[in-house]
A and B are shown apart, each in its own frame.
Chain A
Amino acid sequence: MKRTSVSAAAITAAIGLALTGCSGAPAQQEDEGPVTLSVSVWNMEQTPEFQALFDAFEKANPDITIEPVDILADDYSEKVTTMLAGGDKTDVLTMKNVTDYARYANRGQLLDVSDVVESLGADNLAGIEPFDLDGKYFSVPYRQDFWLLYYNKGLFDAAGVDYPDHITWDEYRSLAEKLTGETGGQKVYGTYQHYWRSVVQAIAAAQTGGDLLSGDYDFMEDQYKLALELQNGGYALDFGTAKTQQISYRTMFETGQAAMMPMGTWYISGIAAAIADGKSTVDWGVAPMPQIDSGDDTVTFGSPTAFAVNKNSEHEAAAKKFLEFAAGEEGAKAIAAIGVVPAFSSDDVTAAFTALPTDDLSVTTFNEPKDVVLEMPVSENSSDISTILDEEHELIMVGDSDIASGIATMDERVTRDVLE
């Protein structure tokens, strides 16, 4: 008898344990007074813009406290997708890319924030276009990264060549050749092209008007030719080594192993910090991305980052207040101060952007009007097409496919497996 009751108790306890694990905590009421606003972010430690924004916002709104929900950058999309599917109530969600944004918005998981966009003025917000879903906005961009050309002034001076001021791809190639050599026993590459497919494909699409979702990729031919010439001539580290050894583009540039490097504006704060910490002594500047013909207007590619409000949020008013602040002039100044490119533009914001080198070329590169094409257009097929383009990119770059057959395979696979 005694033993029965013990076992019964054990079973009840075990089942009870399992059940409490499943039941949710009771819903909380919106507080009258101070509000705690939760915001999903990634790699908080390495992404200082979040802290800068939160500090500035809390200072301006003492009754609102920000509680960051820190998520590993690599898992961010999957984690947020799962959170939303489970009815999570995190108030503000950071949209890491436009593809995820479209997915969440189309599922009705985000709050309509068109009023915030209207009060900030859509014209003041760079990179707002892809967030327009049938005239409504479910997210407001606060930063707009675009690609430019980083260069090492010391290596240019040593080689006795002019800085890459509005150059063409042909000039870029011959500069890479001239700048390749050796200093102090270390091999110096004329340029470093990171192994991401966008380095070849997105810039080709932006400058030729090609469409990465079209299934017709002939427009990539010239860029591939250039990329292969650079690595086969030894003017750039070869793709196979860069990819399998997981080479860090930061190391390549910060240790002076590459004289030029096409990269996004997010790296401005990174290299500025490396130099401030004494980890690098490179004298650097930025120039516009090389263009196809000289005299062309500057065309490059990039992608915005945005904040959205969770439909399940219990602090709607406070969340919208945060969006308006973060994407507006105050937020823009806060992140510009640490070298992050804000979506909101004004003279004051540019003045706050102190991480940028002060030479004319760098300032012009930053301020001149330019056409920033979205890195990967948004559609339900973006992700599938992206996988195919990645795979075929690798085969072309390691030399297992020649350019023509690689592009033909992209066309064929995208058309047959995705579009049809």
Chain B
Amino acid sequence: MAIAATRAPMRQESRARARRNALVGWSFILPNFIGFAVLTLVPMGAAFVVAFMEWDSYSPPEWVGFDNFERMLRDQSFWIALGNTAYYAAGHIPLTMLAALGLALLLNKRIRGLGFFRTTMFFPYITSLVAVAVVWNMLFNPTMGPINQFLEWIGVQDPPGWTTTSAWSMPAVIITSVWRDMGYYMVLYLAGLQAIPQEYYEAAHVDGANAWQRFWNITIPSLRPTTFFVLIMVTIASFKVFDLIVVMTDGGPGRSTLVLSQLIYREGIKENRFGYSSAISLVLFLIVLVFTVVQFRIQKRKED
């Protein structure tokens, strides 16, 4: 009885302290949270509502049900943009991961000038995107660019027209974006590689495993958490691609490099069709969500 009586005020006091702590914590994140809420959370939430409306940002919005989604089904540009986004992702995701892993393996050795090479590889990522696009457009120039001059020199009869043709514009964009992104993911892989205990390799060496076996049975499995993280990040980045394409080809020639986020921008900001634009962005959101969830599921199954 007496013990219970003394406990109650104590519990009250600790609860008060917990609340106070929470309040202090909230007040610390509040400035940042307000920015996030006003500029990200609210617009994101609003997109779910606006997608079912017709709204030009000026007149009062009008409820139109599933009209925007029906329009999407009939809109040829939407299907082309969806296909192009998938094309880009199918090229960009595996190539970036392979290039990043390859670079990380190369630069995980003790070689002279290691810091220099690592920095060099990271450089593209911090270079201004507009500069990257302009310079690569020059390199890709079908008649005067060094890439085609090189191809002709090694004996390619009819080198591709790159960004001046519908067939080769997307590969050109993919090559540029892989070059730009690989340095960043290389750093992530490097961190992963350095976390693998050296003893594993020593033990495998003693057991007579060759380099390939050591790579396949030690490096790859040990890197799984890193690979998973990189995969998620590259996938999301791939589906959202916007800036590089806008500067490099602006979706052209024709609609050969038009991607979903560009269509969202065009329909929303340029044509003032915020309802339709939100509907497309919802579809893009769902695609990214499904891919991410599936990747998490697969990863979980592998761990179990």
Taking beta carbons and an 8 Å cutoff, which residues of A are in contact with B?
3-4, 6-8, 10-11, 14, 17-18, 78, 81, 84-85, 107, 239-241, 243-246, 383-384, 387, 391-392, 394-395, 398-401, 413, 417
Binds A, one of B102-110, B139-147, B183-191, B293-301: B139-147
Are A241 and B141 in contact, CB atoms less than 8 angstroms apart?
yes
Answer whether A18 and B140 are a contact pair too, CB < 8 Å, given A243-B164, A394-B252: no
Residues of B close to A413: CB separation below 8 A: 76
CA distance A417 to B271 in the complex (A): 14
CA distance A400 to B57 in the complex (A): 37
Answer whether A240 and B161 are a contact pair too, CB < 8 Å, given A11-B30, A384-B271: yes
Answer whether A398 and B161 are a contact pair too, CB < 8 Å, given A81-B272, A85-B57, A387-B266: yes
Are B23 and A4 in contact, CB atoms less than 8 angstroms apart?
yes
Are B269 and A78 in contact, CB atoms less than 8 angstroms apart?
yes
Are B141 and A245 in contact, CB atoms less than 8 angstroms apart?
yes
Interface size on B, residues (CB 8 A): 41
Nearest Cβ distance between residue A390 and chain B, in whole angstroms? 8
Residues of B close to A78: CB separation below 8 A: 269-270
Are A417 and B143 in contact, CB atoms less than 8 angstroms apart?
no
Are B57 and A7 in contact, CB atoms less than 8 angstroms apart?
no
Are A14 and B165 in contact, CB atoms less than 8 angstroms apart?
no
Nearest Cβ distance between residue A9 and chain B, in whole angstroms? 9
Nearest Cβ distance between residue A177 and chain B, in whole angstroms? 20
Which of A17, A244, A387 has most B Cβ within 10 Å? A244
Residue B153 is within 8 A (CB to CB) of chain A in the complex: no
Q: Which residue of A lies closest to B25 (CB)?
A: A7
Q: List 5 A-B contacts (CB under 8 A).
A: A4-B23, A7-B26, A81-B58, A399-B165, A417-B76
Residues of A close to B134: CB separation below 8 A: 246
Answer whether A395 and B27 are a contact pair too, CB < 8 Å, given A241-B143, A387-B266, A417-B76: no
Residues of B close to A11: CB separation below 8 A: 23, 26-27, 30
Q: Which residue of B lies closest to A395 (CB)?
A: B254
Q: Which of A84, A244, A384 contacts B140 (CB 8 A)?
A: A244
Taking beta carbons and an 8 Å cutoff, which residues of B are in contact with A?
20, 23-24, 26-28, 30-31, 34, 38, 57-59, 75-77, 134, 137-138, 140-144, 161, 163-167, 249, 251-255, 266, 269-272
CA distance A239 to B253 in the complex (A): 11
Answer whether A394 and B254 are a contact pair too, CB < 8 Å, given A18-B34, A107-B58, A400-B165: yes
Are A245 and B271 in contact, CB atoms less than 8 angstroms apart?
no
Nearest Cβ distance between residue A93 and chain B, in whole angstroms? 15
Q: Which residue of A lies closest to B138 (CB)?
A: A245
Nearest Cβ distance between residue B135 and chain A, in whole angstroms? 11
CA distance A8 to B27 in the complex (A): 8
CA distance A387 to B77 in the complex (A): 11
Are A7 and B141 in contact, CB atoms less than 8 angstroms apart?
no
Q: Which residue of A lies closest to B248 (CB)?
A: A244
CA distance A389 to B241 in the complex (A): 25
Q: Which residue of A lies closest to B28 (CB)?
A: A10
CA distance A241 to B145 in the complex (A): 10
CA distance A10 to B166 in the complex (A): 57
Which of A4, A78, A383, A394 has most B Cβ within 10 Å? A394
Q: Which residue of A lies closest to B77 (CB)?
A: A417
Residues of A close to B142: CB separation below 8 A: 240-241
Residues of B close to A245: CB separation below 8 A: 137-138, 141
Q: Which residue of B lies closest to A401 (CB)?
A: B254
CA distance A400 to B168 in the complex (A): 11
Q: Which residue of A lies closest to B140 (CB)?
A: A244
Residues of A close to B28: CB separation below 8 A: 10
Nearest Cβ distance between residue B170 and chain A, in whole angstroms? 13
CA distance A7 to B27 in the complex (A): 6
Are A10 and B253 in contact, CB atoms less than 8 angstroms apart?
no
Residues of A close to B251: CB separation below 8 A: 391
CA distance A85 to B270 in the complex (A): 15
Nearest Cβ distance between residue B43 and chain A, in whole angstroms? 15
Are B30 and A10 in contact, CB atoms less than 8 angstroms apart?
yes
CA distance A84 to B26 in the complex (A): 37
Residues of B close to A8: CB separation below 8 A: 23
Nearest Cβ distance between residue B174 and chain A, in whole angstroms? 16
Nearest Cβ distance between residue A92 and chain B, in whole angstroms? 21
CA distance A14 to B38 in the complex (A): 13
Are B30 and A14 in contact, CB atoms less than 8 angstroms apart?
yes
CA distance A18 to B23 in the complex (A): 18
The 7 residue pairs across chains A and B that have the minimum distance between CB atoms: A240-B164, A10-B27, A395-B254, A394-B253, A14-B30, A7-B23, A7-B24
Are B26 and A244 in contact, CB atoms less than 8 angstroms apart?
no
CA distance A2 to B76 in the complex (A): 64
CA distance A10 to B270 in the complex (A): 40
CA distance A250 to B45 in the complex (A): 47
Are B27 and A85 in contact, CB atoms less than 8 angstroms apart?
no
Answer whether A383 and B141 are a contact pair too, CB < 8 Å, given A3-B24, A241-B164, A400-B166: no
Residues of A close to B249: CB separation below 8 A: 244
Q: Which of A18, A84, A391, A401 contacts B252 (CB 8 A)?
A: A391
Are B266 and A14 in contact, CB atoms less than 8 angstroms apart?
no
Q: Which residue of B lies closest to A77 (CB)?
A: B270
Are A4 and B20 in contact, CB atoms less than 8 angstroms apart?
yes
